[in-house]
Each structure stands twice: as structure tokens, then as C-alpha cells.
Amino acid sequence: MKTTYLDFEQPIAELEAKIEELSEVQGDASLDISDEIERLRKKGVTLTKEIYAKLNAWQISQVARHPQRPYTLDYIQSLTTDFQELHGDRAFADDQAIVGGLARFEGEPVMIIGHQKGRDTKEKLLRNFGMPRPEGYRKALRLMRMAEKFRMPVLTFIDTPGAYPGIGAEERGQSEAIARNLYVMAELKTPVICTVIGEGGSGGALAIGVGDVVMMLQYATYSVISPEGCASILWKSADKAPQAAETLGITAPRLKALGLVDRVVSEPLGGAHRQAEAMAENLRKALSDALREVKERPLNALLNDRYARLMGYGKFKETRGG
């Protein structure tokens, strides 16, 4: 598959085009230009390193939403075996914006739940662009309860622009569905490991994001509101999204510094989509470490820590008395 380049990657795109051109010439020419191609390749790597070394928050959010970025089902395929998808909330519908099911991770049974975006137009519509409706969250809840019952860890993968703002979603209680998940995940009696793999869009992301370990891929974002949404409310102009992205503090390193994220999982050069296998391998190691940590702890201690961690969220000052 041909790589899609983002605006700020244009110099890399041009170089890659040149390399491709030369490679074609190489095929039928008698003179050897492999040295030249090799030189350009190295230049391409240096250039990518340079560009990616100083990405701003807005550029990172473009990478997080890259159309070729690996989605939940891609990671399920590369990281697990025996995946059996489980459908439906047993009440209303099967929301395809959230996928879930049983799988084996490093041989051990786990419950996997994640947002799922689509690749082509048809799948995008089917997946509703990764924006769940209440039945999606209720399916997730059902699977979490099942994991608790059968004592298996829950792995969640977060990648959504947000919960769907639609008429039917409101009629069926979007708020309650999200709220219920927050409540249940706070006390779910089995380990929960959450990873933001792409876009962590507000309440729609958090609804499967409460757990014992919260990880983020290096170029994933996690935010209370999309930069565009924030810009149109506070600046009255969506054009200010880059400024909003910067000030909202949506990137993995910044959120780790704030203590809201435990671990940042490195991405390959140029982002997860450039080398999906390498990305999956990094994620496997991180998940494996996290699982080992939580499994070593007695369940009571784990739940106490989870609660303490939730109560620790927030930054404020305190005066005497009151």
C-alpha cells in the first residue's frame, strides 16, 4: 500500500517519489544508480527524523488520525490468537463502532474491547467513523462483566473522535451509557489495561478508558474536546485548531508529565502506519509488561490502587480551614 503523506511530510513525499522514479529507471538501465538510491534513502530517513523530532501538537493529532494508522482489529490480528468476536448489547443492537471479544494474548485468555474506525467509505459508514452509540458502550459493559465473571484481564484500545452526537443516541441514553461504564470500570474486579492507540476523543474515549494501567502510543492524542471543537468555542473559529491543540495539552509526553498516563509506547519512525509490524511488537512488549505487573498484585490491592489513582486526578490549591 502506498503511504499517504500529511501536509508537513511533503518534503519526505517528494524524496520518496524521486527514489521510486530512480528505482524504475534502475530496472532497465545499464548504468548502476543503486548508490544514488541508497544515498536518497538515507537522506529520507534523516529528513523524517528531523521532521518527527519537532512535531507540534496539531501535527501529532494529524498522525493520530492518519487514514492508514493501525486500528483495533489490526492489533487484535497481530497481537492475539483465537480471537472470537462477540456482538451486541443484548438489548438493542450491535454497534460496530466498538468491537470486542475473547482472544489469547501470549497464550492467556483476555477480553479485548476497542473502538473501530473504517478504512474505505463503506466501512467508515458501517463503523460510524469510530463514534459509538449507547449500545456500543453497553456491549463493552457486558463484555467487561463477562471478563470479571471468568477472571480474565480486560484490554481496551481507544481510538475515537468521540461518542456519536445523534438523535437516537440521545434517546437511548448516551450520557447514562458512558456514566455507567465509568462507574463499573472503577470497581470491576479484574485487571483493566487501557491503551490510547489513536484518537482519545473525550467522554467517548474515557467510557472504555478507566483502568489499572493507562498507556498511550507516542503519537496518539487524548483530549477533553477536539482541537477543532475547542477552537470554535473559545476562539469562535475552527482555524485556530493548531493553537487549541497546543494549549489543551493532548500529547502523550505532556499527559505523562501530568500523571494522567502511565506509559508512552514508542512508535516507529514516521508513525505507527509506516511500520505496522514494528508498532505491534512495541505494543506487545508494553502490554506484556503491564499484564505481568497487574497479575502479580492481589485483586484487593489492585482495586484500592485503582481507586486511589482516580481520586488523585486533578490539580488545585488548598487554603487552610474550610
Partner 1 sequence: MSWFQKILPPKIKRRQEAARKTVPEGLWSKCPNCEAVLYAADLDNNAHVCPQCGHHNRLGARKRLELLLDEGERKEIGGNVLPIDSLKFKDSRKYTERIAEAGKQTGESDALVVMQGHVLGVPLVAAAFEFRYMGGSMGSVVGERFVRGIDAAIKGKQPFVCISASGGARMQEGLLSLMQMAKTSAALTQLAAHRLPFVSVLTDPTMGGVSASFAMLGDLIIAEPNALIGFAGPRVIEQTVREKLPEGFQRAEFLLEHGAIDMIVDRREMRKVIARGVNMLMRKAPLQA
* Contact positions vs partner 1 (CB under 8 A): 163-167, 169-176, 178-180, 182-183, 185-187, 202-203, 206-207, 209-210, 222-225, 230, 233-235, 240, 243-244, 247-250, 255, 258, 260, 307, 310-311, 313-322
For partner 1, the closer CB: 53 or 167: 167
Q: Which residues have C-beta within 8 Å of that of residue 31, sequence separation ≥ 6?
A: none
User: All 3 cell numbers of residue 45?
Assistant: 530517513
CA-closest candidate to residue 10, choices 69, 57, 61, 62:
62
For partner 1, the closer CB: 300 or 313: 313
Query: What b/e sequence results for 11-20 when a residue is b if at least 16 CB atoms lie within 10 Å of its CB, and e otherwise?
Result: ebeebbeebe
For partner 1, the closer CB: 107 or 321: 321
Question: In Å, how far are 16, 36, 133 from 20, measured between CA atoms?
Answer: 6, 12, 44
Nearest approach, Cβ of residue 322 and partner 1 (Å): 3
Nearest approach, Cβ of residue 155 and partner 1 (Å): 18
Nearest approach, Cβ of residue 255 and partner 1 (Å): 6
| 195/133 Cα distance (integer angstroms) | 21
Nearest approach, Cβ of residue 208 and partner 1 (Å): 11
Q: What DSSP character marks residue 2?
A: P
Nearest approach, Cβ of residue 267 and partner 1 (Å): 20
For partner 1, the closer CB: 130 or 203: 203
For partner 1, the closer CB: 66 or 133: 133
| 216/259 Cα distance (integer angstroms) | 12
Nearest approach, Cβ of residue 123 and partner 1 (Å): 19
Residue that has been written with the C-alpha cell 492524542 in this structure = 221
Residue that has been written with the C-alpha cell 487554603 in this structure = 319
For partner 1, the closer CB: 62 or 174: 174
